[in-house]
């Protein structure tokens, strides 16, 4: 039996994983865009950050109808990208397709549709007048929207923001590897800020069902060998964990190789900075897991957060003292953003937290 990817050394796991999947169709186009973006900012001696944002999917079928998703709206990534731009960085925003984007996030939240910000101007007496029935931004939103619009325009006109989408975990991996290698000419001007929620498990392409899994086609005396379309997906009465009654879908997932190793030790430019995030739900595990990640991958910073409090508090785990530092947005400053979506701990808080002038930290 061949070893599973989870049991291999990082370099071996890398080639095994990338051999499983064809590269995403959009990769050559994304690479060309990223190459030109990096060249432009190397010339300008500008710092470039790769922000990853949103959750990855794990398809259950090659022609995907169903998939497993990872939690993330993209708020952290999109918000942080805006702060990085404010700090003079150029940003490559590698994001889950249709998740929140820098600047437009203020108007795209489902509870605050952009149409709520608009109004029809007061009618003029002349219906031929081009201003008659004109659509305008409501007066109470003018100032905030002008501010967001100016920043957005500035980033766009100066080629400071490159938006690259992904959907599946394998697309994310291919994109991350390519982008990190393309960023090599930046050297210590490169920063990796890995806020995306990346699946820890996947179904190898070689063991994936091609077509939509059919519950109606489950044989009466189902055995492992007869699994529909795949030996990773078991449905029926004789599945490995037999159901008490009725049909069950049992999914057998492999661990995704830990690519942070490869990013830090191979793909990323020498001298670059790598920041990863760790999400947990159990408070008693968060610091331990974040510290373990930092020790294991020897990068620069792990930012830990809990699902329930991630918008107000994060913990910085660093190789140097104080090793563990909490940064909290005080209750009074948990402000509503323009869209009514409460803002969260972002780069500004992180930066202010460092010099002590920002949100409460301990």
Residue 276 Cβ, how far from ligand PAZ at the closest point, in Å?
7
SS3 25: coil
- What is the CA angle 311-318-77, rounded to 5? 35
**Which residue, among 271, 331, 330, has the nearest Cα to 299 in the 3D structure?**
271
Among 30, 95, 261, 310, binds ligand PAZ (CB under 6 A): 310
| CA separation, residue 309 to residues 2, 253, 305, 306, 313 (Å) | 42, 29, 7, 5, 6
Within 27-66, which residues bind ligand PAZ (CB under 6 A)?
A: none
- List 47, 76, 95, 177, residue binding ligand PAZ (CB under 6 A): 76
Residue 36 CB, nearest approach to ligand PAZ (Å): 28
291 lines the binding site for ligand PAZ (CB under 6 A): no
305 binds ligand PAZ (CB under 6 A): yes
The least CB distance from residue 309 to ligand PAZ, in Å, is 10
CB of 70 to ligand PAZ, least distance (A): 7
Q: How far is the CB of 55 from ligand PAZ (least distance, A)?
A: 7
Answer for the pair 296, 314: CB distance below 8 angstroms, yes or no.
Answer: no
Sketch the per residue contact string, 110 through 139, with ligand PAZ: x for CB under 6 A, - otherwise.
Answer: ------------------------------
Cβ-based nearer residue to ligand PAZ, 60 or 290: 290
Map the footprint of ligand PAZ across residues 193-232, applying CB under 6 A: 195, 197-198
* Residue given tokens 């031929």 in the structure block: 128
When asked if residue 106 is in the footprint of ligand PAZ (CB under 6 A), the reply is no
Nearest distance from residue 151's CB to ligand PAZ, in Å? 20
37 vs 259 by CB, closer to ligand PAZ:
259
Least distance in angstroms from the C-beta of 76 to ligand PAZ: 4
Number of residues that bind ligand PAZ (CB under 6 A): 13
Q: Does 152 bind ligand PAZ (CB under 6 A)?
A: no
User: Of the ranges 67-75, 144-152, 243-251, 262-270, which one interacts with ligand PAZ (CB under 6 A)?
Assistant: 67-75
Residue 107 φ/ψ region, left for φ over 0, alpha for ψ in the -120 to 50 degree band, beta for the rest? alpha
- The residues that bridge with 296 in the sheet, in sequence order, are none
User: Under DSSP, is residue 279 helix (H, G, I), strand (E, B) or coil?
Assistant: strand
Closest among 52, 82, 74 to 268, alpha carbons compared: 52
Residue 80 found at the interface with ligand PAZ (CB under 6 A): no
Q: Which residues contact 250 (CB under 8 A, 6 or more apart)?
A: 233, 234, 235, 239, 240, 241
Least distance (Å) between residue 150 CB and ligand PAZ:
24
Is residue 72 within the footprint of ligand PAZ (CB under 6 A)?
A: yes
Q: Which ranges of 158-266 does DSSP label H, i.e. alpha helix?
A: 169-182, 259-262
Nearer to ligand PAZ (CB atom), residue 227 or residue 287: 287
Cα distance between residue 55 and residue 349, in whole Å: 23
Q: Is 279 in the site for ligand PAZ (CB under 6 A)?
A: yes
What HEC string does 30-79 produce?
HHHHHHHHHHHHHHCCCCEEEEEECECEEECECCCCCEEECCCCCHHHHH
- Assess contact for 312 and 344: CB atoms under 8 A: yes
Footprint on this chain of ligand PAZ (rule: CB under 6 A): 72-76, 195, 197-198, 277-279, 305, 310
């Amino acid at each position: 039996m061949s070893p599973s990817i989870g049991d291999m050394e990082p370099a071996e796991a890398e080639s095994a994983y990338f051999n499983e999947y064809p590269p995403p169709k959009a990769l050559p186009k994304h690479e060309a865009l990223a190459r030109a973006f990096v060249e432009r900012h190397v010339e300008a001696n500008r710092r470039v950050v790769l922000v990853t944002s949103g959750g990855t999917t794990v398809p259950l079928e090659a022609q995907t109808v169903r998939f497993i998703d990872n939690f993330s709206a993209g708020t952290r990534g999109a918000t942080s990208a805006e702060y990085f731009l404010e700090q003079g960085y150029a940003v490559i925003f590698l994001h889950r397709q249709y998740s929140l984007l820098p600047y437009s996030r203020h108007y795209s939240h489902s509870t605050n549709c952009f149409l709520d910000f608009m109004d029809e101007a007061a009618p003029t007496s002349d219906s031929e007048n081009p201003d008659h029935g004109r659509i305008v931004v409501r007066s109470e939103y003018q100032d905030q929207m002008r501010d967001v619009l100016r920043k957005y325009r500035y980033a766009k006109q100066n080629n400071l923001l490159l938006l690259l989408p992904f959907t599946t975990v394998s697309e994310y991996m291919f994109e991350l590897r390519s982008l990190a290698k393309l960023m090599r000419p930046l050297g210590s001007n490169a920063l990796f800020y890995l806020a995306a929620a990346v699946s820890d498990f996947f179904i190898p392409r070689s063991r994936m069902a091609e077509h939509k899994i059919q519950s109606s086609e489950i044989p009466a005396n189902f055995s492992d060998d007869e699994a529909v379309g795949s030996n990773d997906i078991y449905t029926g009465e004789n599945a490995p964990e037999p159901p008490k009654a009725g049909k069950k879908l049992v999914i057998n997932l492999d661990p995704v190789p830990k690519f942070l190793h490869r990013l830090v030790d191979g793909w990323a430019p020498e001298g670059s900075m790598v920041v990863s995030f760790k999400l947990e739900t159990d408070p008693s595990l968060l610091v331990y897991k974040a510290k373990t990640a930092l020790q294991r991958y020897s990068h620069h910073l792990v930012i830990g957060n809990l699902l329930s409090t991630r918008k107000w508090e994060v913990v910085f785990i660093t190789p140097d003292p104080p090793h563990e530092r909490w940064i909290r947005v005080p209750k009074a400053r948990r402000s509503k953003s323009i869209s009514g979506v409460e803002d969260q701990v972002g780069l500004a808080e992180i930066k202010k937290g460092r010099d002590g002038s920002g949100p409460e930290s301990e």
